[in-house]
Structure 1
Amino acid sequence: MSVTQKLAAFVADAEDGALPEWTIHEAKRTLLNMLAISLSASRSDDAKILIDWARLEGCRERASVVGSDLRTSYSTAALVNGYLCHLQDYDDTHFPTVLHPTAPVWPAVLAAAEEASVSGLATLAAFVLGAETACRVAISVHPWHYDAGWHITGTAGVFGAAAGAGRVLGLEPRALVAALGAAGTRASGVREVFGSHGKPLHAGQAASSGVQAASWARAGFTASDDIIGGRRGFWAVLSPAGHSEEALLYDLGERWELRMNGLKPYANGVVSHPLQDAVIELRNAHELTADQVASIEARVHPLVPELMGKTDPRVGLEGKFSFRHCAAAALVDGAGHDAQFTDEKVKDPVIAAVRAKVSATVDEAVREDEVYVTITLNDGQRHEIHVEHATGSPENPMSDVVLRAKYDALARETLSAERADELWQAVWTLDEAPDVTGVTALMQLPGK
């Protein structure tokens, strides 16, 4: 069997009830997180671009778009929902690879589940298996693929979207191989567009391509038997510098990469989260204000300046990829929510002045979820802190209580408190539901 066939067999043959109980719990958490951030994002002009486009497409009303009254084709709904989920950069992160698995996988799974009318448990299991597929593909090409400039959420995420949607549609292994092949040949997304609408589009494209690929495969579509490991396949073409078959298949079904996934406490690139934790903690402990601070110095992982190196962001989306802005907003506002990444915030003269005082030194020995920070005051006082594991990392995960607070704050921007609570309960009991309609109906907003 090829590596693609082995992966497909794992996804197709797994039993819903045999998955570890904690994975189903984590699937609910990721769905709640997705719905909250997508509902919040749906209110923005950035979201309106794709929602209005989807209305103009005039597709048949088959699947639901979060935060609106729009029902459209399965693939269009997956596209828009994937875009919304990743728009604020407030979703989840697979820490070993910086893949964001929810944004491509859940929208594809939900769209397929609206068509197939499968049980809530089957839907949750499909996400678990789709997310595992995306994470396994991602880790098999890490770090070479990402270092070359590919956005791994789009390129590896499309495999997870196809696997999850294919699982919902009941594809047997051979058809699932075809679905992975159709999805893999559309793997795309480059890091050059980070800080623009192009980045969340990668997640939407992956979700849409995944649900399309699964649907085509169900109808008899054929593709390569080894889109991942073939001579001109994903590994050879998109990660020629290196790949690992062992990382793809080792302990498949025994060791779950979902364990290494974390929910974000801040609405920006995850590698800056330790810095934000540190600045907020020092700010609160010493009651620091912007006019007191002479400098903020950080010792960081190499990915921080590489991914978050925008020195002078011009718009809010660029601020999400500026560690200097993240630190400055953390000091001034004591927060890192989407409100800290508006166009107005990046132009705020107080935040801009602090931004100019932030610097970082790369240290190969510092982990991605770790940081050392020194804040020096104008009077010469120095406050130092070491954050060993950032909030939301696998070693310091977001609790259900904190997730509920995040959910309420974001979902209630769009839904009434009563409707938001009903949606929370619908997801939390999804494994007992006959289908997903209780969730998809509540995640919409009539008249919007």
Structure 2
Amino acid sequence: MTAEKTLAQWLVTTRFEDLPPQAVEQMKLLVKTIIGTTVAGATAEGCAEVIDQVRDWSGKPEATILIHGGHKVPAHNAVLANSIMARALDICDGMAPGIHIGTSVVPVALAMAETTGGCSGEEFITALALGCELTARISAIAEYDGFDPTGTGTVFGATAVAGRLLGLDATQMHHALALAFNRAAGSFQSNIDGSLAVRFIQGFVSQNGVSCAQLAKRGITGPDNYITGLYGYYHLFCKDKRDDATLVDDLGSRWNMYQMGFKSAPSCGCTIAPTDLILQLVRQHPVDASNVEQIDITVGPPIYNLTGHDFVVGDNPTVNAQFNIQYCVANGLLRKAAKLEHFDPAQVTDPAVLALTKRIKVHCDNSRITETTLVITTRDGQVYRAETSGPSGFPPFPLSEEQHRERFEDNMGYGGKPLPAESVDALLTLVAELEKVDDVRSLVPLLVAN
């Protein structure tokens, strides 16, 4: 059986009972996390505009636009809006080399549950786990070289989730993924230039996932050899390096998605290790920003290329800050934290922060990947140094239960459309025992603000 058909067969035959307990718990944590990020991002820049557009498009009332009043629209447009909100503040899940999965698969799963007349918590979790694992595997074989891993990798996971909850058979699932291959797109230039396209790519991924699954259910076909063919995924996104072992071996027993992390700061994963180090040093030493001569940060090429450029405020200051080491380190030194509000435009453009970024230099060491070193040199001759092998929140440095709780509470308290306290309590109760929920549609009314 080909790699493509092996994946399709696995996606439609795996049962909840086949999932290890760790996978189940990870999916419940992912759902809770994305609920929080969606509430936090509901009024972020670009979200009201896309919601207005989706409402203008109108159409069959299949799935709910979350948070904003409960209006129903076609599923592929609902997930466009919901995923943009979930990703907007970049305080979501992530995985090397910069792929975001939960902010698509969770909104897609909720929308498909509504569209199909409901599904059990067990089936919901199973679909999420399969979509996450497929994405993790297809991303692990890639050499993106500037392609956005979310746009070119998560689209397969979103399609798998939609297809699973639509009840596709193996042939239909195969063609849904093959159609998704033809929708794989996105560039990290969006991140470097600080554009809203970063969060919109997440929405496009979800929209394409639903559309591809729906089209395949109606018999629309895609290329059989979308991974292994002459112009397939291996050629376009892996530089012709074939790795069937990583892609399809040990399906169901080896779970690449365990490498998923949950961010400790509301910024690109590439900025989190430098943020960790500056916060570590200001806790350990009485560092006054006015006494800093220079801060030097050394990172590997993937991190440098995406977030090591000089900080410049553009049309979308929040996005500029989210994807810039200089800003994140200056913010950490001055404010002794990395909070959601620190990425609001007014705080990003604070003259004190902007001045400090000019004394921060980012260097590239080609021998590194995630290893990061930060050195503070003061005007009175003191030198403070810290280093780490990787960012907090990601393996092998996961967040604690307390840190997850604090992050969820921060997210739920941020933004302009908070949920009623009783809704939050009910959501937490349902998610804690999600596998026992008869119909996950019961979550949706709780995800609408007053």
TM-score, normalised relative to structure 2 = 0.94
Residue 43 of structure 1 pairs with residue 47 of structure 2:
no
Deviation of residue 196 (structure 1)?
1.0
Indicate if the aligned counterparts of 1:295 and 1:377 stay in contact, CA closer than 8 A: yes
Partners of 1:399 and 1:28 in 2: CA distance: 15
Letter of the aligned partner of 2:252 in structure 1?
Answer: G
Distance change >3 Å, CA 125–CA 445, structure 1 → 2: same
Counterpart of 1:163, as a letter, is: A
Structure 2 unaligned residues grouped into runs of 5+: none
Percent identity of equivalent pairs:
26
- For residue 86 of structure 1, what is the aligned residue in structure 2? 87
8 Å CA contact retained: 2:113, 2:441 = no
Pair 1:158 & 2:155 matched: yes
**Alpha-carbon distance in 1 for matches of 2:110, 2:207:** 11
**Partner residue, 1:167:** 164
Separation (CA, whole Å) in 2 of partners of 1:287 and 1:126: 50
Larger displacement relative to structure 2 (294-303 or 243-252): 243-252
CA distance in 1, matches of 2:65, 2:434: 19
**Structure 2 residue 351 is the aligned partner of structure 1 residue 349:** yes
Amino acid at match of 2:138: V
- Tell me how far apart the structure 1 counterparts of residues 45 and 367 of structure 2 sit (CA, whole Å): 41
Aligned to 1:101: 101
Please state if 1:122 is matched with 2:130. Answer: no
Match of 2:408 in 1: 407
SS at match of 2:34: helix
- The residue type paired with residue 200 of structure 1 is R
> How far apart, in 1, do the equivalents of 2:240 and 2:377 lie?
42
Tell me what 1:384 maps to: 385
State yes or no: 1:179 paired with 2:176.
yes
1:154-206 per-residue CA deviation (whole Å, 9 max, x = no partner) reads: 11111111111111122121110011112111111122221211111111111
Distance 2:207 2:234 in 1: 22
What is the alpha-carbon distance in structure 2 between the residues aligned to residue 60 and residue 172 of structure 1? 25
**Cα distance change, pair 216–43 in 1 and its aligned pair in 2 (3 A):** same
Instruction: Give, as a single letter, the amino acid of the residue that structure 1 aligns with 2:150.
Output: T
Q: Aligned to 2:387, what secondary structure does the other structure show? A: strand
Aligned letter for 1:272?
T
Q: Map of 1:235-314 to 2, 5 A cutoff?
A: 235-314=234-313
Corresponding position of 2:22: 22
CA contact (8 A) 1:109 1:211 kept: no
The equivalent of 2:330 in structure 1 is: 328
Tell me the number of residue pairs that the alignment of Structure 1 and Structure 2 aligns. 440
Q: Comparing 257-266 with 61-70, which one deviates more in the overlay?
A: 61-70
Deviates more, 1:248-257 or 1:156-165: 248-257
Separation in structure 2 between the aligned mates of residue 287 and residue 445 of structure 1, nearest angstrom: 43
Contact kept in structure 1, 2:299 and 2:373, CA below 8 Å: yes
The match for 1:397 is 398
* Contact 1:39–1:67 under 8 Å retained in 2: yes
**Counterparts of 1:236 and 1:286, CA distance in 2:** 50
1:270-311 per-position Cα deviation (integer Å, ceiling 9, x unaligned): 112111001011112224232122221122122222000341
Indicate if the aligned counterparts of 1:2 and 1:225 stay in contact, CA closer than 8 A.
Answer: no
Mapping of residues 190-209 of structure 1, within 5 Å: 190-194=187-191, 195-209=194-208
The answer to whether the 8 Å contact 2:270/2:303 transfers is yes
Cα drift, residue 243 of structure 1: 4.3
State the secondary structure of the residue aligned to 2:449.
Answer: coil
Deviation at 1:237, TM superposition (A): 3.3
Over aligned residue pairs, what C-alpha RMSD do you find?
1.6
Residue type matched to 1:192 in 2? Q
The CA deviation string for residues 376-401 of structure 1, in whole angstroms up to 9 with x for no partner, is: 22211111112234210110111232
Note if contact 1:47-1:84 (Cα within 8 Å) is conserved in structure 2. Answer: yes
Supply the AA of the counterpart residue of 1:256.
W
Task: Give distance in 2, aligned partners of 1:412 and 1:431.
Answer: 27
CA distance in 2, matches of 1:337, 1:216: 42
Q: Confirm or deny: 8 A CA contact 1:290 1:331 kept in the other structure.
A: yes
Change (3 A) 1:235 1:367: closer
* Post-superposition offset of 1:238: 4.0
Asked if 1:229 is matched to 2:228, the reply is yes
Query: Which AA in structure 2 matches 1:353?
Result: A
Q: Which amino acid aligns with 1:190?
A: S
Task: Mark the runs of 5 or more structure 1 residues left unpaired by the alignment.
Answer: none
Equivalent runs, 1:427-438 vs 2, <5 Å: 427-438=431-442
State the secondary structure of the residue aligned to 1:67.
Answer: coil
Q: Per the alignment, do residues 190 and 243 of structure 1 end up closer, same or farther by CA in structure 2, a change over 3 Å counting?
A: farther
Find the partner of 1:424 among 413, 424, 428. 428
